[in-house]
Structures are given as C-alpha cells and as structure tokens.
Chains A and B, each alone.
Chain A
Amino acid sequence: MYSLSLHFFYPWIYLKKRIFTFCTIETGQFFSSGHTNNWAVLVCTSRFWFNYRHVANTLSVYRSVKRLGIPDSHIVLMLADDMACNYRNPKPATVFSHKNMELNVYGDDVEVDYRGYEVTVENFLRVLTGRLPPSTPRSKRLLSDDRSNILIYLTGHGGNGFLKFQDSEEISNMELADAFEQMWQKRRYNELLFIIDTCQGASMYERFYSPNLMALASSQVGEDSLSHQPDLAIGVHLMDKYTFYLLEFLEEVHPASQANMNDLFKVCPQSQCVSTPGHRTDLFQRNPGSVLITDFFGSVRKVEITKDTINLTSSVKPPIQSIAEHHVLQFVADVSSQNPKQKDWHPPDGFILGLWTLILLVFFQTYGIKHLKHIF
C-alpha cells in the first residue's frame, strides 16, 4: 500500500504526519527513544602544539554535532590548548582535519566553554555531575534532565584504565564510572553515548555499571590508537585515524538519516584503523540496531500534528488533571521501584587476607597455640 506519510525536514525539526495508520510501525519507532533534548560534552585533554590532532578531533565532532542540530547552548566544549591562534600555526584562526587544508573544522562560529587551564579533571567531573559553584555561567553548565540524551566525547593520551589531562593529572576509569552513576542517581540523563579516542581506550568503559550507557572506543586494551596523516605545511599530524573515519561517516549523516548504531560500530575496521575499535552495549536497554545516530549526534525535535481539536474548557480540565496526576504517580512508582544496583559480592582480596593472617600470626606467637581451642 502506498504510504501517505510525508517527510519534511528543517535543519533540526523532523515532522511526521501521524494521521494515517499505515505508519504504525514507524510511529512505534518514532516515540521509542524517549528523549526530548540533546546535549553534548566534547573534551580535548591535551596541551602543546604537537597534540594538534586532539583539538582537531574534538572540533570535528563539534562541527558534526552542530551541523546536525545541537545548538551551542547545549554543547559544552572543552579544549585544553589553543591551536588555532597558536603562534606556531601558519594559518591562524584555522584548524584543519584533512591534509592540504581541505576542511577547516574551526570555522567562523565557534564557542569554546572551557579553555586552557580550565580543562581539569575536577571541572570535567563537576560539569558531568552538576556540582558547580553558583556563579558559574549557563554556558559552562550541563543542564540536562532525565529526558536528555547526552553524547560524551573524550580524546587525548590515555593508557590502561586512565586518561591524561594536560600532562599533569589523570582520570581513572573508576572515577568516570562513578560519575556516570551519580548522573544516573540524579536523573541527569536518559541515555548516554560515550566515545573515546585514545590509546587503550576500551579500558575506560570496562568499569561502567549504570544503565542506559553505550560506549565506543578506538582501540582495545594493549593497542595504541594511531594518528592519521601529517600536513607538511602545518608540520603536525592533523587527526587521529578513528575520528577521521568517524568524521567521514558523520559527514554522510543528515538530520533525517535513518542510520543506526550498528553502522557506527562498523566505522574504522582494523584494516583502516590498525587498532581494533571496541564497543559496549550490555548496559543499554534498547537494541543498538534501533537506535538512530541522530538520537545522540543530532537534535531532532519530534512534533506531532493532529487534526482533532482539544477543548481546554473547565469541564474538560479534571480528566486532564487526573491524567497528569496519573503520569506523575506512575513516574514516582517507576523511580522508586528502580532499586539501587546490587553490587555482586566479591571474596576479600589479597590485602585483607594478608592483614588478617598477620594479625593471627602475631596473636598466636604471643599467646601460644594452646589458645587455639578457645577460638574454635
């Protein structure tokens, strides 16, 4: 049957006519994600001119995210050093991602929220958990709620279980997992996509334990992520391989695109990337094949058009109120029924055992073995 649904798309509004019931499968998918707004936190953690590629990585994701509709007020961009106006840059106010200066990812309309020395582990965790000093301006805050889909992108130098910030401090995978759990407890996200492009990046998402998290990394534990290509005029490597191919993939995506997460997992196979990209979806409740790329990278507003008239007179009010009340009660029930995650019991580790052995040895040495029968 000829489907009478029509697709209109503006830069960030995706309208769908819900009049005809032929589209029931699409409408089911339409409301399946459950988010109403999108946020992005993009962090580059490296300082110094030779880490130009990390800034270019972050800016290329920023560019894609802006192009697909997330506005500057919903993006927290953190760049640890300034490459565009660095005195070593032969083309000031530009950051290129492709060699021969083909694509300037810095552009003319960029707003960096945290820059230079402000990019620290403490500020990053404060942004995620929302515990900022009261005088922090709005553009530096992550004002997400429980219906927000958040994209978090980290890049820099990392190792097995840590990510280095500005060559002077580190964030460990446990801290990151705890921060996400704080966000879940405070209902600061609906779903979260975490992408990391560093060496041994998969170690950073090993410890996640909060629900609705999906993670991608550019390399497995024990592997290094490699940089893509240098530009001889600028003199440094411009991008990392994983983010370069991610950018090429995202350039094909437009706000109405139906590409899903399974396509994202296929970005940069080992033949192109040399390292093996990894992903983790066990904490995510939906099937990755039904999650659209634009659920995280774009800001797609869903608008429902109906031809029925809704009467907002006083006689109709009580039923609407009770529906609202019902929704509120349902929500409260949902929240309270979600028990805090039961942590699995682990046997005590070596340190505790060794300590108790030492204590027992000293005791029996002083008082003699004959007291053993009094213990058991």
Chain B
Amino acid sequence: STYPSLIGQCWQAHPGSVCSKGSCGKNGTRDQFQEELVIRPLHSGDIYASFQFRTLWDIDFLQERQKVSHYRLFPKSLGQVLSKFSVRELHISFTQGFWRTMQWGQPFIPSPPGAELWVWFHDTVSDVDGNWKELTNVLSGIFCASLNFIDLTNTVQPSASFKPLGLGNATDHRFLRYATLPREIVCTENLTPWKKLLPCGSKAGLSVLLKSEKLFHSSFHSQAVHIRPVCQDEQCTSKAWELRQTLNVVFDLYTSSQGKKEWSLFKMFSRTLTEACPLATSSKIYVDITDNPELFELNPVTPLLSQAVVLGDRRTYSVFDLTRAETFGQLCSLNLLLRWKGDSDMLRPLLHAERYVAGFGLQTGEIHTVIYNNHPYRAFPVLLMDSVPWYLQLYIHTLTVTSKSRDNKPSYIHYQPAKDRHRPHLLEMLIQLPPHSMTEVTVQFERALLKWTEYTPDPNHGFYVGSSVVSALVPSMVAMNTNFTQDQPLFSSFVPVKEESSYFVRVYTEPLLVNLPTPDFSMPYNVICLTCTVVAVGYGSFYNLLTRTFQVDEPSLPLEKRLANLIRRIRGVPLLA
C-alpha cells in the first residue's frame, strides 16, 4: 500500500514494492521505477544537475499476440506509440543552449541544440518512411513541439554513427532514421507533457524540483526521452523495455548565484525535497565531491559514499537516499548546501569539436569542422557525421581533411549527395586523430536560390544547419566497469560499456546559421505603386493634352441683371453683357 504514514515525525509514503526478477508474477506488477539526481559542481563555478527517471517494464511489445492494455508506471501514450509503429528504439531530446565542452567537461547524456529524434524500427516494418512520418506527427502532439516539420528533406539514415544503444546488433541502417530541428524552441509547453509522463507527475519525489521558471533561466537545459530494450540480467535470459527520461541543466554562476560559489537545492530549483516518489524503488541524490575535498563543504553530511567510473574518470559521490526517512532530518525537508572555495583542475576533455562557416557574400562559403584530440600520446579514430540541408550545395571535390598541416585520408567515407527539395547531404567519415592534435575538415558550398514560397516568415534571420556529430571510443585512463549490476547508478549505465579500456563519447558541434540570398518581399507592392503612379501621371497628362478643349466661361451676372435680361428677352430687346 502506498498510503502515507507517520514515520518518526514526517509523513512518508511506503516505498514501492521491489520487483526483482522472478517475484513479479504474483501481484502482476511487472514494472519498476527509479529516480536519480546527480549534482556536479563545474570548475567554472557553474553547477550541473542531471535528473534521470527510469522505468523498466517486463513486457515484449514485439510479440504480435500480446496485446497490452494495462499500463501502470509506463506511460500509455508512449506504449501505444511503440506498438503501433513497431519501434525498437526511440531517442528524442529537446535542448536549449549549447554544451560548452571545454568549460564544463563531458555531459552524461549529450544532446544537440534544438530537437533531435532518432529511431530504430523493427525489421518487420515494410514502409519505414510512412511510419516515420506518422511517428513524428504523433510525437509532435505528445510533446507540443513542431516535430511535424521533420520530413524527407531533413531526415537521414546514418550508416555507422547511431548504432542501437539497447539490445540487438542490427546493422541494416535502412531501419534507422535520424533528424534534427536546430531551430526548435524549448519552453514550458514541452516540459509540461514531459512531466506528465512520469509516474509521480510533478507531485512527489525528485520531480517536484522541476519548476520551469528556474530551469529555463539557465545556461543549458536539455530534456530527453530514451526508450530501448535491455537485458534484465547478465545472461540476458529476460528482456525488458527501459524508458529513461533525462533532464540536464547547467545553472550559471552569475545569473543564478550572484557570483558566489554557494549552491543549494533551494537556490537552484526554488524548492526543497520532502519525500521520495512512493512508486519508486530507489530515489537517490549523488553529489560529486571528488574535486578539492578539503575546500568543499556539503550540508547535511551523509555517511554514504559511492565510487563510480564514468566518462573515463573515477569519481567519488556522496549519496542521499530519499527512501530513508533519516535523510530528511528534523525539518522533514532536504535542502543540500554546497560551498567551496578556490579553484580545482578540471580533467581536460579528450575529445572536443567546433564548427563554423567561413567566407563572405551570399553566394559561396566554406564549412570548417575542427576536432581536437587532447590525449597526450594515444591516437584514436572518430566517426564524423554531417547532415547538411540541400540548399547549401556541397562541393565534395573540395573536401580536405588535414591534421598537423598534413593530409589525413579517412579510412571510411559514406557520402549520399543531396537531391533538391528531397534529401539532404549525408557525409560520414572515419578519421584517425593523431595524439595531441587538431584536425580540420573543410568543404566548400554554394547557396541555392529558394522559391519565394519556401522562405520562412522571417527569412532575414537565416537558415539553420544541424550540428555535426562526432562519435568515438576514447581511450580511458581508468579501467571502466564492464560488470552488470542491478544497483548501478543510472548515470553510469546509460551507455553500455563493452570493453574496459575505452568509453563511448558523442560530441555535438555548434549548429550553423547561414544567410541565403533573400529577395525583397516588399517589391511587388513597390512595383505596383510605382507603375500605377507613372501610368496615371504620364498617360493622364498625354490624354489631357490630346483631348482637352478650352471654353470661355461667362461669369454669372448678379441677380438684378439676370431679371433685367429675362424681361428684355420677353420684350425681344438685346440683352445686357
């Protein structure tokens, strides 16, 4: 039962039933929910908070005979989407702001600015494009976003960059679709339906902290939904569907904290925590205390510590378990206080990328993508994926890849040229990055002239080109953990770790904003005014010259003279002048 009871002094709900493998059948609950918040102070003084909400559901959508009609923790809208469109994996993210890798390090879950959607369909689907079109429309209704603008002109099928993150070693990229909308705005109307997908909504647990006025007043805000099939144990005897809802936010030192390196839950979210979500089996907060332990102050102190190797680094975390009543203390509310003095050294991110447009004028230009390998002695390959809209016509013969001012030939190139108004460019390259170097990829392009109906209502803003994706297995200084444990924190289990010596990293570059030659849309009005004026003045004057005759007009006589004239007419006598 989940009725609240008085434990100690605080009203606490009973923790949700733990449903480990084998014990689910009896009362029918086959799903479990975990929530987690990781707080990581960044060395620039900002603070990074990452929420993850995971629902594991022990059911197989792909079996045709099994009709699912009872939804408990897994949201019904997403469940119906999965079964109707035969989706195997779905990843959608909405991001406001750009992740600054050099200042903040690597994020737990990377995402590009705007909206990004990539989906692996099941291989029984016969019309992938039709399913994709309907799926984007349905998702645009669920998330209140303009995802219906995703169509064939901005969808690509990457061959190597987006391998499935869940089960299955599918290699047929005909069942993969990837699209981004760099212009997509993220605001409260996207957060509201996202929060409604959570089992506890925004009423209990960690989701009470998700207040839009604070979340959107930040340097970076990203919310995402990831659905994939996973193994429930090491031998993979049973499979389950995993739904992860993640929210990453970076609060700026100066706008949210007035320049002081003192952060608290109340300062970040304008709320404190009072209880865990009653439907959650685990509800934890991890605070990263690895950097400068003697200068770091954390209130309230907790004895629980946890070590995890994440993103190639061994970090120590203080753990607050919200399912235990003692965490909330005497005041029945938890407000973490973090204070630190002095600077710390940030581990330099090993992989980093930038992109910009060079050139001048509205006819040609050059796209430069710069990838940095900051490892002191190891070289490793990266996969660079570029998806450029058709109106920037790339000249692939001008593609050059240089590292340390020498030509660097990619070992694998997959290029699909664009078709006007049908398909964008897709360029995927496997480039070997030498150690401690900068690799530059340049390609020239020409801007196309669009039809006047294809311009947006504000064409002088410019047109966006989606971010490039750089994916790599970066060699790790610290041995990664390949063991499968049920109690692994969520942030370290998002990306499956296949080998000990490297970890998977995906870096997104900046989106580009290019101006296309834009006609002056006021010209039809101007032309009509000018032509009509010329015709009226010119022809009118000419016509008057030809046809106007002048007549002498007698001035009208005063009244008495007119009467005299009348009498004279009667008499037959000549009239007065």
- Show the binding face of A for B, using Cβ within 8 Å: 47-48, 82, 84-85, 91-94, 106-113, 115-118, 133, 135-140, 166-168
B458:A140 contact, CB within 8 angstroms: no
Tell me, yes or no, whether B521 is within 8 Å of chain A by CB: yes
B187:A168 contact, CB within 8 angstroms: no
A135:B212 contact, CB within 8 angstroms: no
Query: Beyond the given A82-B185, A93-B215, could you list 11 further A-B residue pairs with CB under 8 A, ordered by the A residue number?
Result: A48-B458, A82-B187, A91-B217, A93-B187, A106-B188, A110-B192, A112-B144, A117-B149, A166-B457, A167-B457, A168-B521
Residues of chain B from 409 to 458 with CB closer than 8 A to chain A in the complex: 456-458
Given contacts A93-B187, A94-B213, A135-B134, contact A85 B96 (CB under 8 A): yes
- In the assembled complex, which residues on chain A have CB atoms less than 8 Å from the CB atom of B458? 47-48, 167
Residues of chain B from 499 to 549 with CB closer than 8 A to chain A in the complex: 521
Closest CB-CB distance, A138 to chain B, in whole Å? Answer: 6
Q: Mark B192-228, 1 if CB is under 8 A from A, else 0.
A: 1100000000000000000111011100000000000
Given contacts A93-B212, A118-B148, contact A136 B189 (CB under 8 A): no
A93:B188 contact, CB within 8 angstroms: yes
Tell me, yes or no, whether B4 is within 8 Å of chain A by CB: no
Residues of chain B from 457 to 482 with CB closer than 8 A to chain A in the complex: 457-458
Smallest CB-CB separation from B217: which chain A residue? A92
- In the assembled complex, which residues on chain A have CB atoms less than 8 Å from the CB atom of B183? 116
B192:A111 contact, CB within 8 angstroms: yes
B457:A168 contact, CB within 8 angstroms: yes
- Which of B48-56, B135-143, B161-169, B320-328 binds A? B135-143
Given contacts A85-B187, A93-B217, contact A137 B212 (CB under 8 A): no
Q: Which of B142, B148, B187, B192 contacts A109 (CB 8 A)?
A: B192
Q: Which of B142, B215, B216, B521 has the most CB of A within 10 A?
A: B216
Q: Which of A84, A111, A133 contacts B144 (CB 8 A)?
A: A111
- In the assembled complex, which residues on chain A have CB atoms less than 8 Å from the CB atom of B188? 84-85, 93, 106-108, 110
- In the assembled complex, which residues on chain B have CB atoms less than 8 Å from the CB atom of A85? 96, 185-188, 216
B146:A92 contact, CB within 8 angstroms: no
Tell me, yes or no, whether B133 is within 8 Å of chain A by CB: yes
- In the assembled complex, which residues on chain B have CB atoms less than 8 Å from the CB atom of A110? 188-189, 192
Q: Which of A108, A118, A137 contacts B142 (CB 8 A)?
A: A137
| Distance A110 CA – B195 CA, assembled complex (angstroms) | 12
| Distance A95 CA – B456 CA, assembled complex (angstroms) | 25
Smallest CB-CB separation from A85: which chain B residue? B187
Q: 30 pairs across A/B with beta carbons < 8 Å?
A: A82-B187, A84-B187, A84-B188, A85-B96, A85-B186, A91-B213, A91-B217, A92-B216, A93-B212, A93-B213, A93-B215, A108-B211, A108-B212, A108-B213, A109-B192, A111-B144, A111-B192, A112-B189, A115-B144, A115-B145, A115-B146, A115-B185, A116-B146, A116-B183, A116-B185, A117-B146, A118-B146, A135-B134, A139-B141, A167-B457
Smallest CB-CB separation from B138: which chain A residue? A137
B185:A47 contact, CB within 8 angstroms: no
Closest CB-CB distance, A234 to chain B, in whole Å? Answer: 14
- In the assembled complex, which residues on chain B have CB atoms less than 8 Å from the CB atom of A118? 146, 148-149
Q: Mark B325-344, 1 if CB is under 8 A from A, else 0.
A: 00000000000000000000
A136:B186 contact, CB within 8 angstroms: no
Smallest CB-CB separation from B130: which chain A residue? A135
- In the assembled complex, which residues on chain B have CB atoms less than 8 Å from the CB atom of A138? 141
A136:B185 contact, CB within 8 angstroms: no
| Distance A135 CA – B185 CA, assembled complex (angstroms) | 23
- In the assembled complex, which residues on chain A have CB atoms less than 8 Å from the CB atom of B137? 133, 135-137
Smallest CB-CB separation from A133: which chain B residue? B137
| Distance A133 CA – B183 CA, assembled complex (angstroms) | 24
| Distance A267 CA – B458 CA, assembled complex (angstroms) | 36
- In the assembled complex, which residues on chain A have CB atoms less than 8 Å from the CB atom of B185? 82, 85, 115-116
- In the assembled complex, which residues on chain A have CB atoms less than 8 Å from the CB atom of B216? 84-85, 92-93
A135:B138 contact, CB within 8 angstroms: yes
- In the assembled complex, which residues on chain B have CB atoms less than 8 Å from the CB atom of A135? 133-134, 137-138
| Distance A53 CA – B233 CA, assembled complex (angstroms) | 56
Closest CB-CB distance, A161 to chain B, in whole Å? Answer: 17
| Distance A136 CA – B137 CA, assembled complex (angstroms) | 6
- In the assembled complex, which residues on chain B have CB atoms less than 8 Å from the CB atom of A48? 458
Closest CB-CB distance, A129 to chain B, in whole Å? Answer: 19
Closest CB-CB distance, B468 to chain A, in whole Å? Answer: 23
Smallest CB-CB separation from B455: which chain A residue? A168
Smallest CB-CB separation from A83: which chain B residue? B187
Q: Which of B142, B183, B185, B212 has the most CB of A within 10 A?
A: B212
Closest CB-CB distance, A313 to chain B, in whole Å? Answer: 32
- In the assembled complex, which residues on chain B have CB atoms less than 8 Å from the CB atom of A116? 146, 183, 185
- In the assembled complex, which residues on chain B have CB atoms less than 8 Å from the CB atom of A111? 144, 189, 192-193
Smallest CB-CB separation from B184: which chain A residue? A116
- In the assembled complex, which residues on chain A have CB atoms less than 8 Å from the CB atom of B457? 47, 117, 166-168
Closest 10 CB pairs between A and B? A137-B141, A85-B187, A93-B216, A166-B457, A135-B137, A168-B457, A112-B189, A92-B216, A93-B212, A82-B185
Smallest CB-CB separation from A165: which chain B residue? B457
Smallest CB-CB separation from B137: which chain A residue? A135
Closest CB-CB distance, A106 to chain B, in whole Å? Answer: 6
- In the assembled complex, which residues on chain B have CB atoms less than 8 Å from the CB atom of A91? 213, 217
- In the assembled complex, which residues on chain B have CB atoms less than 8 Å from the CB atom of A117? 146, 149, 456-457
Closest CB-CB distance, B188 to chain A, in whole Å? Answer: 5
Residues of chain B from 149 to 188 with CB closer than 8 A to chain A in the complex: 149, 183, 185-188
Q: Mark B61-86, 1 if CB is under 8 A from A, else 0.
A: 00000000000000000000000000
| Distance A136 CA – B144 CA, assembled complex (angstroms) | 12
- In the assembled complex, which residues on chain A have CB atoms less than 8 Å from the CB atom of B134? 135
| Distance A48 CA – B192 CA, assembled complex (angstroms) | 24
- In the assembled complex, which residues on chain A have CB atoms less than 8 Å from the CB atom of B189? 110-112, 115
Smallest CB-CB separation from A169: which chain B residue? B457
- In the assembled complex, which residues on chain A have CB atoms less than 8 Å from the CB atom of B212? 93, 108
- In the assembled complex, which residues on chain B have CB atoms less than 8 Å from the CB atom of A133? 137
Closest CB-CB distance, A66 to chain B, in whole Å? Answer: 12
